[in-house]
Amino acid sequence: MTPFTADVVNIIRGIPPGRVMTYGGIAERAGSPRAARQVVRILHSMSGKHDLPWHRVINAKGEIAIGSDEGRFMQRALLEEEGVYVNPAGVVDLAEFRFEPDRDLPYGKNVES
Protein backbone atom coordinates (compact mmCIF):
# COMPACT_ATOMS: atom_id res chain seq x y z
CA MET A 1 0.00 0.00 0.00
CA THR A 2 1.42 3.41 -0.93
CA PRO A 3 1.76 6.10 1.75
CA PHE A 4 -0.99 8.15 0.05
CA THR A 5 -3.35 5.16 0.05
CA ALA A 6 -2.61 4.42 3.72
CA ASP A 7 -3.27 8.07 4.57
CA VAL A 8 -6.57 8.03 2.68
CA VAL A 9 -7.66 4.83 4.45
CA ASN A 10 -6.74 6.32 7.85
CA ILE A 11 -8.57 9.56 7.14
CA ILE A 12 -11.74 7.79 6.01
CA ARG A 13 -11.57 5.42 8.97
CA GLY A 14 -11.36 8.45 11.26
CA ILE A 15 -14.54 10.16 10.08
CA PRO A 16 -16.84 9.89 13.10
CA PRO A 17 -20.52 8.92 12.93
CA GLY A 18 -22.74 11.87 12.07
CA ARG A 19 -20.05 13.68 10.07
CA VAL A 20 -18.93 13.65 6.43
CA MET A 21 -15.88 14.54 4.37
CA THR A 22 -15.55 15.21 0.66
CA TYR A 23 -13.38 13.24 -1.75
CA GLY A 24 -11.33 16.38 -2.37
CA GLY A 25 -11.04 17.17 1.34
CA ILE A 26 -9.66 13.70 1.97
CA ALA A 27 -7.20 14.04 -0.93
CA GLU A 28 -6.01 17.40 0.37
CA ARG A 29 -5.64 16.07 3.91
CA ALA A 30 -3.62 13.13 2.54
CA GLY A 31 -1.22 15.55 0.83
CA SER A 32 -2.47 15.51 -2.76
CA PRO A 33 -5.21 18.12 -3.18
CA ARG A 34 -5.89 17.26 -6.82
CA ALA A 35 -6.36 13.53 -6.23
CA ALA A 36 -10.10 13.35 -5.47
CA ARG A 37 -10.62 10.74 -8.20
CA GLN A 38 -7.88 8.62 -6.70
CA VAL A 39 -9.73 8.80 -3.37
CA VAL A 40 -12.84 7.50 -5.17
CA ARG A 41 -10.85 4.52 -6.49
CA ILE A 42 -9.30 3.79 -3.11
CA LEU A 43 -12.68 4.00 -1.41
CA HIS A 44 -14.26 1.73 -4.01
CA SER A 45 -11.52 -0.89 -3.91
CA MET A 46 -10.70 -0.91 -0.19
CA SER A 47 -13.95 -0.20 1.68
CA GLY A 48 -14.73 -3.86 2.25
CA LYS A 49 -11.18 -4.97 3.03
CA HIS A 50 -10.65 -2.21 5.61
CA ASP A 51 -14.27 -1.89 6.79
CA LEU A 52 -14.34 1.80 5.87
CA PRO A 53 -17.33 4.04 6.59
CA TRP A 54 -17.75 4.73 2.84
CA HIS A 55 -21.14 6.33 3.36
CA ARG A 56 -19.52 9.30 5.14
CA VAL A 57 -17.74 10.44 1.96
CA ILE A 58 -19.61 12.76 -0.43
CA ASN A 59 -18.76 15.13 -3.25
CA ALA A 60 -17.69 18.77 -2.99
CA LYS A 61 -21.26 20.01 -3.46
CA GLY A 62 -22.43 17.93 -0.50
CA GLU A 63 -24.16 15.48 -2.80
CA ILE A 64 -24.39 11.74 -2.60
CA ALA A 65 -22.48 10.83 -5.75
CA ILE A 66 -23.04 7.08 -6.05
CA GLY A 67 -24.27 6.09 -9.50
CA SER A 68 -26.87 3.46 -8.67
CA ASP A 69 -30.26 4.22 -7.12
CA GLU A 70 -29.72 1.40 -4.63
CA GLY A 71 -26.33 2.80 -3.58
CA ARG A 72 -27.71 6.33 -3.17
CA PHE A 73 -30.61 5.02 -1.10
CA MET A 74 -28.27 2.99 1.12
CA GLN A 75 -25.84 5.88 1.63
CA ARG A 76 -28.70 8.23 2.48
CA ALA A 77 -30.20 5.74 4.93
CA LEU A 78 -26.85 5.15 6.66
CA LEU A 79 -26.17 8.89 6.97
CA GLU A 80 -29.65 9.62 8.30
CA GLU A 81 -29.29 6.76 10.80
CA GLU A 82 -26.26 8.62 12.18
CA GLY A 83 -28.17 11.91 12.40
CA VAL A 84 -26.94 13.54 9.19
CA TYR A 85 -29.76 15.42 7.47
CA VAL A 86 -29.88 14.76 3.73
CA ASN A 87 -32.31 17.08 1.99
CA PRO A 88 -34.84 15.77 -0.57
CA ALA A 89 -32.38 16.49 -3.41
CA GLY A 90 -29.76 14.25 -1.75
CA VAL A 91 -27.55 17.06 -0.48
CA VAL A 92 -25.85 17.33 2.93
CA ASP A 93 -25.21 20.76 4.48
CA LEU A 94 -21.40 20.77 4.63
CA ALA A 95 -21.36 23.78 6.96
CA GLU A 96 -23.17 21.68 9.56
CA PHE A 97 -21.91 18.13 9.01
CA ARG A 98 -18.39 18.40 7.51
CA PHE A 99 -15.71 16.74 9.63
CA GLU A 100 -12.61 18.87 10.00
CA PRO A 101 -9.96 16.79 11.79
CA ASP A 102 -7.94 19.76 13.03
CA ARG A 103 -11.02 21.25 14.62
CA ASP A 104 -12.98 18.17 15.59
CA LEU A 105 -11.83 14.74 16.72
CA PRO A 106 -8.53 12.91 16.26
CA TYR A 107 -8.24 10.19 13.64
CA GLY A 108 -9.03 6.57 14.37
CA LYS A 109 -6.70 3.61 14.19
CA ASN A 110 -3.85 3.61 11.70
CA VAL A 111 -3.41 1.16 8.84
CA GLU A 112 0.03 -0.26 8.23
CA SER A 113 1.56 0.66 4.88
106 has pLDDT over 60: no
Residue 94's SS3 state is helix
Please give the residue that has the higher pLDDT: either 25 or 69: 25
According to the model, what pLDDT value does residue 66 have?
80
Residue 100 has pLDDT above 50, yes or no: yes
| Residues in CB range of 21: below 8 A, 6 or more apart | 11, 12, 15, 29, 56, 57, 58, 98, 99
Q: How far apart are CA 82 and CA 42, in angstroms?
A: 23
Q: Give residue-wise pLDDT tens across range 59-88.
A: 999 999 887 788 889 999 999 999 999 999
- pLDDT band with cut points at 50, 70 and 90 for residue 36: very high
Any idea which fold 3-97 has? Arc Repressor Mutant, subunit A (1.10.10)
- Rounded to 5 degrees, what angle do the CA atoms 89, 96, 54 make? 65
**What's the pLDDT at 27?**
96
pLDDT of residue 101: 78
Rounded-to-integer distance, Cα 28 and Cα 30, Å: 5
Q: What are the pLDDT digits (tens) for 38-51? A: 999 999 899 889 99
Cα–Cα distance, 100 to 94 (Å, whole number): 10
